[in-house]
Chains A and B, each alone.
Chain A
């Protein structure tokens, strides 16, 4: 449209406008925001060649000092304050395609070039990524000028949500109806429908507090802990097997039980993670605190013959580093293993400093997964108590501590597979030291100061043989000797007195021989471990022998639950940690000490061990810990995180959709709620945002198809665990038995087919068939199919986020799996016994039980039709009934069979497997 200058007034206004536009465009240069404007361009266009991985031309944009330093040309590519003369900018405009950057890629847009120029002109300042800045107290939005006419139903959370909604011109939906809300909040907080008395009291309570009372009562249920444990088990990569090729059984369910208790007690999150990271390093750790450390013993363990234990110990340590960062700090750290982080300010070396926290743990990929916590049972309890009393009265403090730790954790034993210099001996199947005729082996650097007795755990097929221990060359006299006899009853524990006083560290040589071994290949004894110890105290006491024998049998084969735990090597056996060149564990370079990345430690504070690490993580100044957890909780309730990439808050992760809200929640979590998960969850589910309806109109869906602004409640398919648990409750089969070894509910044959595992899936009996999903046995190479079909992971490594899919295999699973068919029959029985003569009422009841709401009559009609079609089909061929109802205890009627088909259909409805 042509512009006509009609009046001088208009003209002058126009000139003024144009001038201010000119000023705005060319003279006034608005301050560039490094994080919002510059970093995304650098990450996308520059840093893959000029970053942590590659530094083409000696130029890197990862750290400020690197970016401003001279490049290979001898001059810096960026001259702060002078874009025109900065080589980096010149290269963006170069005509020669071999000169122009990004190299042989699309040219930057004019806008992008301008941003980079302005950034350099303004001093090329780097600023800290939002997620690495401490959480500040956030002002709750007032609601703006029109606040007084806005909905007043909300909590503080809603004000943050509303602020964004206002901007896009959307409104929050109305509150969902009571029954929908009841089902939703129960599935979210306890992972299954609420118990009927809680349901009833909520539905009958018309007071304003009814919902809050409901939330409070759900948070008190033991089922709450089970539900949140399910989330944590993915993060902890929990499994009941060791992984890798052989994938043998691992008994670590006590850790799962610890999680349930911790959630139920609402253990403050700072304690929750401190105990998992470093419970063993707390003063006088309790059994519970030891159990918590099993968190990092969920790493895989390789039993494959011919593999190098050190290689897989290292792999486990690396997994602990990556898991700690991803799970607790929402940061992808794995790439720093090979080089500096390509996008975020972590240096290659810092990976290994961090690894040093975990590199000194006792475990070394042994078959029995030592060290193990021993939780005594039955007769072992009084035995343990009596040994402890004996030690308390007879032993000096250091001897007492030595023996107490030994009995409780089996430490400090030396695992036989660390033996080397083998002659006529072998590390059999890389598990245990086996000795043959005239055999030699060496254990390096054993501390022998004040050691007066040697305990050995062994088995032997030979009637008798001579076992000698030497220091030095083996030509001198042995310092300990014994005749060992054939063992009849598996592992046997003997003690051998140490005859010489030996100070300091020595290599110990072990020699075995027996004239009964004729052939060089005949097997002699096999050893589990050796333990060099001070004398068992009280040798002069008449009861010494009794107590000593009690101690020996307790140490050898206690009646106890054994759980792998974390423990550190004693200080004199501390492992050194080196930087691995390009992540290769065989190429060890620089020696490093434990520490955290310098961006988080500007004062260069010293860190000693995992406990220091935990202290840093749970410090309220730590920018990541609270944000990471709050974001997880939000994701569990709302189906997506405020930061969508739960696993990565770094500059390559997604930006938060509501950063202020995230910070507000994080601040409240730490300061207001003192790290209480229950309080934080309550805060979230009390919000009007959470309570709104999921029914959506077209306008909203068009404006916000992915529900990023929360103008409606999300509709999300239930997790694998929720689907199973809910079905158990709906069908009246649910067993509320908690804790204990994992169980084996129905599973099709042929799932467990790994090459070496002789174990089979032995179906559990009785109520163990009907327990919550978290109790189902988890074998890494053959995970439970329903779990995998519904987006579970193999738990080989930690996974923060399950990606939801919708597949025909899920349909087949719910239609045909024996678990769900069996439950359908049970469901049908309940419906019929309640409404034996009224089909309509029976189906309405069934639907209500499953969905929580009364069905639309058209749905009832369809389900009734299915029932009658099934009856007709069965009447034509009554044999079907017998086949369908093959449990001998069932009263096999056509009605039951037809109702089972109908019940099965109900369990498959979208509304049933979705949180509405």
Chain B
């Protein structure tokens, strides 16, 4: 008979209000399938569209069709926590170079509040060389020697704006659509809406590098008012890659298999007694747990990737690094994970110390980022995955054209303060226009003069590529229908292919 993984069967049965006989037959097949392997290559799901987005208790993460046809199946969101300087990477401002060292015109600072700048700061010219690259002729800085090879695949947004200039609130706004705590993150929304393609892996995976979590803490991958099953699962480089994944000491796979079999068979008898579909669901969850125990360490292990891949990404197995996480992201989407969110700490280039200096630490961050990110796009393309994987890159805001003068004194190193009016992000793959820039800032890169988009517009566009109309993708809470984009957002049509 056709082998259906038990949790799918459970779901199907629940939908049909399950006949017991049918269940038990399948259940036995399910037990047999604990003989491993069969579930590990990803799963076939019901082809049928579940229609709405009500949560199935039996399997809340079952893959669902998007309400509209979407180009992207999965998302890799690369968040440079701290906010990288657009003026040293993507937004070339020759005029700012000429004005280097001059007092910032009053019109820019009048009535403005900055995180650290006080009084009248000086303008700071670009701390990088720029050239045009690719057929698209996009300007890029010399801090990114690898990126030109993929620049014809990306769409750069040059005039993104936000209304938050402190890290934690701005990160929350970027991922949860609000600067306050308590709302679901983008990855939670997406896994809520689409489920996941591989039930042996979490649907929404978070990877962090740079030694710290983002300022806004775990709330940026929290599920807010959505059920907690949709929150991001942080996969860790040390200890258990997922909490409680490892069996207690001394318990091997066979013993674990025997114990899960016993639990499930006892539960099967309880099901006969109580007829409670939740028991079927529990049986399937225990099977999934068993499978996850193999699937997760397997996917998290990058050491068996070929040498050329390591050279391409700059990865070194066995340590926590941004490059390793980038390679993991590729492996995860390849295995059907819906949403991968990477946070890389260390982009807060204030110029208060060498690490945050634009001519020192920042260049190092660019280099690490450049090679791995370029490799990711190249690799996804080679594997034919880029078309269905939406890659998003950016920080929570940008940086000022002025040099930071903390408490009114020029900082010792060259750095820039937080800037919310205009910054750069890029997207690639998943139906995004290739080799294109959208938006423009004024001659010093302070304000958007054309193609200004908001963080909400970026969110609306990501949802659109996944097959959602952001205004109708809602969840009722506290008496109203909430959505990721709150009451804002407009899809950025020009960057859609």
**Which of B218, B227, B244 gathers the greatest number of chain A CB atoms within 10 Å?**
B244
What B residues does A653 contact at CB under 8 A?
479
Which residues 213-256 in B have Cβ within 8 Å of A in the complex? 213, 215-219, 222, 225, 227-229, 231, 233, 236, 238-240, 242-252, 254-256
What B residues does A517 contact at CB under 8 A?
none
User: B253-267 interface mask toward A, CB cutoff 8 Å, 1 = contact, 0 = none?
Assistant: 011101111110111
Interface residues on A, range: 35 or more
Q: Is the CB of B57 within 8 A of A806?
A: yes
Given contacts A788-B228, A812-B289, contact A748 B243 (CB under 8 A): yes
Given contacts A306-B166, A695-B273, contact A884 B248 (CB under 8 A): yes
Query: Of B247, B270, B479, which contacts A911 at CB under 8 A?
Result: B270
Residue B115 CB within 8 A of the other chain: yes
Residue A859 CB within 8 A of the other chain: yes
Report the separation of the CA atoms of residues A782 and B217 in the bound assembly, to the nearest whole angstrom. 8
Given contacts A245-B216, A701-B275, contact A873 B255 (CB under 8 A): yes
- Beta-carbon nearest neighbor of B478 in chain A: A332
Report the separation of the CA atoms of residues A873 and B250 in the bound assembly, to the nearest whole angstrom. 11
Report the separation of the CA atoms of residues A862 and B269 in the bound assembly, to the nearest whole angstrom. 10
Residue B93 CB within 8 A of the other chain: no
Given contacts A306-B115, A797-B181, A908-B263, contact A806 B278 (CB under 8 A): yes
Q: Is the CB of A812 within 8 A of B263?
A: no
Q: Is the CB of B212 within 8 A of A753?
A: yes
Report the separation of the CA atoms of residues A341 and B182 in the bound assembly, to the nearest whole angstrom. 20
Contact stretch, chosen from A593-601, A769-777, A816-824: A816-824
Residue B87 CB within 8 A of the other chain: no
Residue A289 CB within 8 A of the other chain: no
Task: State the Cβ distance, A756 to closest chain B Cβ, in Å.
Answer: 9
Residue A16 CB within 8 A of the other chain: no
Which residues 284-309 in A have Cβ within 8 Å of B in the complex? 300, 304, 306-307
Which residues 311-336 in A have Cβ within 8 Å of B in the complex? 315, 326, 331-332, 334-335
Task: State the Cβ distance, B43 to closest chain A Cβ, in Å.
Answer: 13
User: B13-39 interface mask toward A, CB cutoff 8 Å, 1 = contact, 0 = none?
Assistant: 000010000000000000000000000
Q: Is the CB of B246 within 8 A of A754?
A: no
Q: Is the CB of A648 within 8 A of B479?
A: yes
Report the separation of the CA atoms of residues A342 and B281 in the bound assembly, to the nearest whole angstrom. 38
Report the separation of the CA atoms of residues A306 and B417 in the bound assembly, to the nearest whole angstrom. 13
Q: Is the CB of A344 within 8 A of B479?
A: yes
Given contacts A696-B274, A821-B248, A884-B249, contact A785 B262 (CB under 8 A): no
Contact stretch, chosen from A57-65, A625-633, A897-905: A897-905
Report the separation of the CA atoms of residues A341 and B276 in the bound assembly, to the nearest whole angstrom. 40
Task: State the Cβ distance, A363 to closest chain B Cβ, in Å.
Answer: 19
Q: Is the CB of A811 within 8 A of B274?
A: no
Q: Is the CB of B293 within 8 A of A812?
A: yes
What A residues does B448 contact at CB under 8 A?
none
- Beta-carbon nearest neighbor of A822 in chain B: B248
What B residues does A886 contact at CB under 8 A?
249
What B residues does A331 contact at CB under 8 A?
479
Given contacts A653-B479, A796-B182, contact A865 B262 (CB under 8 A): yes
Q: Is the CB of A245 within 8 A of B289?
A: no
Report the separation of the CA atoms of residues A715 and B278 in the bound assembly, to the nearest whole angstrom. 9
Residue B2 CB within 8 A of the other chain: no
Report the separation of the CA atoms of residues A171 and B269 in the bound assembly, to the nearest whole angstrom. 26
Given contacts A695-B275, A810-B285, contact A901 B480 (CB under 8 A): no
What A residues does B262 contact at CB under 8 A?
862-863, 865-866, 902, 905
Q: Is the CB of B259 within 8 A of A782?
A: no
What B residues does A873 contact at CB under 8 A?
252, 254-255, 258
Residue A412 CB within 8 A of the other chain: no
Which residues 421-445 in B have Cβ within 8 Å of A in the complex? none
**Which of B116, B229, B478 gathers the greatest number of chain A CB atoms within 10 Å?**
B478
Report the separation of the CA atoms of residues A742 and B475 in the bound assembly, to the nearest whole angstrom. 35
Given contacts A647-B478, A863-B266, A901-B255, contact A811 B222 (CB under 8 A): no
Residue B282 CB within 8 A of the other chain: yes
Report the separation of the CA atoms of residues A304 and B479 in the bound assembly, to the nearest whole angstrom. 32
Residue A755 CB within 8 A of the other chain: yes
Residue B340 CB within 8 A of the other chain: no
What A residues does B225 contact at CB under 8 A?
799
Report the separation of the CA atoms of residues A720 and B476 in the bound assembly, to the nearest whole angstrom. 24
Given contacts A805-B228, A901-B255, contact A695 B274 (CB under 8 A): yes
Task: State the Cβ distance, B260 to closest chain A Cβ, in Å.
Answer: 8
Given contacts A788-B228, A794-B222, A908-B263, contact A335 B249 (CB under 8 A): no
- Beta-carbon nearest neighbor of A749 in chain B: B239
Q: Is the CB of B233 within 8 A of A809?
A: yes
**Which of A717, A780, A782, A911 gathers the greatest number of chain B CB atoms within 10 Å?**
A911
Q: Is the CB of A901 within 8 A of B251?
A: yes
User: A732-749 interface mask toward B, CB cutoff 8 Å, 1 = contact, 0 = none?
Assistant: 000000000000000011
Task: State the Cβ distance, B406 to closest chain A Cβ, in Å.
Answer: 10
Residue A815 CB within 8 A of the other chain: yes
Residue A378 CB within 8 A of the other chain: no
Residue B288 CB within 8 A of the other chain: yes
Residue A803 CB within 8 A of the other chain: yes
What B residues does A796 contact at CB under 8 A?
181-182, 219
Residue A415 CB within 8 A of the other chain: no
What A residues does B229 contact at CB under 8 A?
805, 807
- Beta-carbon nearest neighbor of B199 in chain A: A808
Query: Of B238, B247, B252, B476, which contacts A815 at CB under 8 A?
Result: B247
Residue B473 CB within 8 A of the other chain: no
User: B354-393 interface mask toward A, CB cutoff 8 Å, 1 = contact, 0 = none?
Assistant: 0000000000000000000000000000000000000000
Q: Is the CB of A715 within 8 A of B276?
A: yes
Q: Is the CB of A785 within 8 A of B243?
A: yes
**Which of B246, B258, B260, B288 gathers the greatest number of chain A CB atoms within 10 Å?**
B258
Task: State the Cβ distance, B72 to closest chain A Cβ, in Å.
Answer: 25
**Which of A650, A698, A811 gathers the greatest number of chain B CB atoms within 10 Å?**
A811
Residue A504 CB within 8 A of the other chain: no
Report the separation of the CA atoms of residues A816 and B478 in the bound assembly, to the nearest whole angstrom. 36
What B residues does A701 contact at CB under 8 A?
17, 275
Residue A343 CB within 8 A of the other chain: yes
Given contacts A335-B478, A905-B263, contact A811 B217 (CB under 8 A): no
What A residues does B270 contact at CB under 8 A?
909-911
Residue B279 CB within 8 A of the other chain: yes
Q: Is the CB of B286 within 8 A of A652?
A: no
Task: State the Cβ distance, A220 to closest chain B Cβ, in Å.
Answer: 32
What B residues does A797 contact at CB under 8 A?
181-182
- Beta-carbon nearest neighbor of B480 in chain A: A335
Report the separation of the CA atoms of residues A64 and B278 in the bound assembly, to the nearest whole angstrom. 46
Given contacts A815-B247, A816-B248, A910-B267, contact A901 B259 (CB under 8 A): yes
Residue A244 CB within 8 A of the other chain: yes
What B residues does A749 contact at CB under 8 A?
239
Q: Is the CB of A807 within 8 A of B252?
A: no
Residue A858 CB within 8 A of the other chain: yes
Residue A781 CB within 8 A of the other chain: yes
Report the separation of the CA atoms of residues A313 and B292 in the bound assembly, to the nearest whole angstrom. 44
Q: Is the CB of B266 within 8 A of A909?
A: yes
Report the separation of the CA atoms of residues A859 and B271 in the bound assembly, to the nearest whole angstrom. 12
Q: Is the CB of A862 within 8 A of B265?
A: yes
Which residues 58-76 in B have Cβ within 8 Å of A in the complex? 58, 60-61
Residue B491 CB within 8 A of the other chain: no
Given contacts A755-B212, A791-B227, contact A809 B243 (CB under 8 A): yes
Could you jot down 19 A-B contacts, CB within 8 Å?
Answer: A306-B166, A332-B478, A332-B480, A652-B479, A694-B274, A701-B275, A748-B239, A781-B217, A793-B228, A811-B282, A817-B244, A821-B248, A862-B266, A873-B258, A883-B250, A901-B255, A905-B266, A909-B267, A911-B270
Enumerate chain B interface residues (CB-CB to A < 8 A). 17, 55, 57-58, 60-61, 115-116, 166-168, 180-182, 199, 202, 212-213, 215-219, 222, 225, 227-229, 231, 233, 236, 238-240, 242-252, 254-256, 258-263, 265-267, 269-270, 273-276, 278-279, 281-282, 285-286, 288-289, 292-293, 407, 476, 478-480
**Closest CB pairs A-B (n = 4):** A883-B250, A332-B479, A884-B250, A811-B289
